A and B are shown apart, each in its own frame.
Chain A
Amino acid sequence: MQNRREFLKSAGAVVAGSSLLGLAGCAGMDRGAGGHVVVVGGGYGGATVAKYLRMWSEGRINVTLIERSTEFVSCPMSNLVIGGLKNMTDITISYDNLRSRWGVKVITDEVLALDTAKRTVSTAHNGTIAYDRVVLSPGIDFMFDRVGGLAGNEELIPHAWKAGPQTVVLRQQLQDMKDGGIFALHIPKSPYRCPPGPYERACMVANYLRREKPKSKVLVLDANGEIQSKKALFTKAFEGYKGLIEYMPNNELRSVNAKTRTAELDFEKVKADVLNVIPPMRAGNIATQSGLPLINDRWVDVEWLTYEARGIPGVHVIGDSLFPAPTMPKSGHMANQQAKVVAAAIINLLAGEAPNPSPVVMNTCYSFVDAKNAMHVASVHQYDTVKKQPMPVPGAGGVSVAANEIEGKFAHAWAQNIWADMLA
């Protein structure tokens, strides 16, 4: 296993041949001959679209990436940090290569508003920035007010559903928990970011507790009626943690008491030592507050050839913010795939050409059940010209037969390669 430094070094070596280093000076200009694209959000979707726009346009399109955090922190693999199998440094990557190798202008800032008529974004610290096209990849924001007592109590009742400081808080609370304690994890109703993620987290916590605090218990309080992804595989994994993990479906959270770490559910009241609530969520605030068309008042409705918000040309939306096409998950892998479709479409549109009429996206999600064994779910989605959206290909995709060590190794390789595909 490479450490992060070696990984970044080799990642650099791999792409050096196709580097745009000589074009880095162009990034400071607001509009180049090929146009200017502003990307909001530097996660799996945003970082990928920024890099691929520069790479595929051979530097002709200027790209500004605006991201709140100074470094990328990965949600995939963050459950392994919570379970003590990885450190924060393992899942944290600099944006430096996007700047120096690809000539992306990366700004650490927050976008406050989007003016779709004037084609500008206004930022907290860098004024107003004009664009020819904008890509919103803001991920999700939480609806804390849907659970009584939750708002403002993120430190006491962490979600850790955006990797970063929250991951550290939850890890610390788990470490501080006494042997014999109760770790309660609440899962909101679907759709939510990363369908298998909560169940993987339950396994990672249980894996740690079995080793360090075997008298403890993990309560999985699921608002849904059943396990939402890889059901048979997680059911088997939970059986392997018999006595440690208790799965309780149909338990929607009504309110919490942050001081006593008590959760009031539809039919239960649970007092926990660590209360990990993944709140109900919707598209990132910049998407929901900019007048874009929403479905169920939560997710952005897009045209599937260009990922433009329906009826709002020039505003592309990718990643977890979307109202998904059938069986399309909210995953980092899918955001990376959508980013490439959008990069290709924007390059064509800025050149006055039609977008690719038959884009393909595919998904792979690995989940760990213990320190070594992982399992996957995969799918391929082809654009259907009749339904005008990507549809899963029947007979393709599927899940692992069982969690296994080979896929545990593939899961680590997946992370290294996708992080490089976005950021190296």
Chain B
Amino acid sequence: MNAKLVLTTLCLTGLAGLSHANDPNLARNLAATCANCHGTSGKSLGGMESLAGEPKEKLLQKLADFRSGAKPASIMHQISKGYTDEQLDLITAYYAAMK
């Protein structure tokens, strides 16, 4: 299943009721869901990749490759499919801006 099809499926099934309200802290809140493994504010203690300060385009490409299967993963191919494109855009922009 390619990434586009996955996203289409997501939009048609699970996320139909998802709100797109303009919360100024939406990116911060979404990014915090990554912090368990990747460290508070994206600063990992090791063993997982740090996300803080990584270029947005690089992070988005990695996520796209996880979703498509182009980049082999133990778990990120499954987790990355749980977020919308819009959410991943917010998350990666947030981490890219972290020092």
Contact = CB atoms under 8 A, between A and B. Distances in A.
Interface of A: 2, 7, 10-11, 14-15, 17-18, 52, 55-56, 333, 336-337, 340-341, 344, 348, 356-362, 364, 376, 378-387, 391-398, 400, 404, 406-407, 409-410, 412-414, 416-418, 420-421, 424
Given A394-B10, A396-B81, A383 B18 contact: yes
Contacts, number: 162
Nearest to B21: A357
A364 B32 CA distance: 14
Q: Nearest 4 CB-CB pairs, A to B?
A: A413-B47, A380-B82, A396-B82, A385-B17
A383 B35 CA distance: 19
B29 A393 contact: no
A396 B29 contact: no
Nearest to B9: A395
B80 to A, nearest CB: 8
Given A14-B43, A357-B21, A387-B17, A362 B99 contact: no
28 contacts: A10-B45, A14-B39, A340-B33, A358-B19, A358-B21, A358-B23, A358-B26, A359-B29, A362-B79, A364-B36, A364-B37, A376-B74, A378-B75, A378-B78, A382-B14, A382-B15, A383-B18, A384-B14, A392-B14, A393-B10, A395-B10, A396-B10, A397-B81, A410-B74, A416-B45, A417-B35, A420-B39, A421-B39
B68 interface: no
Given A344-B25, A386-B16, 5 more contacts: A360-B30, A393-B82, A396-B82, A407-B74, A420-B39
A380 B48 CA distance: 19
B18 A56 contact: no
B56 interface: no
A371 B79 CA distance: 26
A340 B14 CA distance: 22
Contacts of A52: 32
Interface of B: 1, 6, 9-10, 13-21, 23, 25-26, 28-30, 32-33, 35-41, 43-48, 74-75, 78-83, 87, 99
Given A360-B33, A410-B47, A417-B37, A384 B81 contact: no
A201 B15 CA distance: 36
A65 B38 CA distance: 25
Given A380-B83, A393-B14, A396-B79, A337 B33 contact: yes
Given A364-B75, A394-B14, A416 B47 contact: yes
Most buried by A among B21, B36, B38, B99: B36
B17 A384 contact: yes
Most buried by B among A7, A340, A381: A340
B46 A416 contact: yes
A334 to B, nearest CB: 10
A414 B43 contact: no
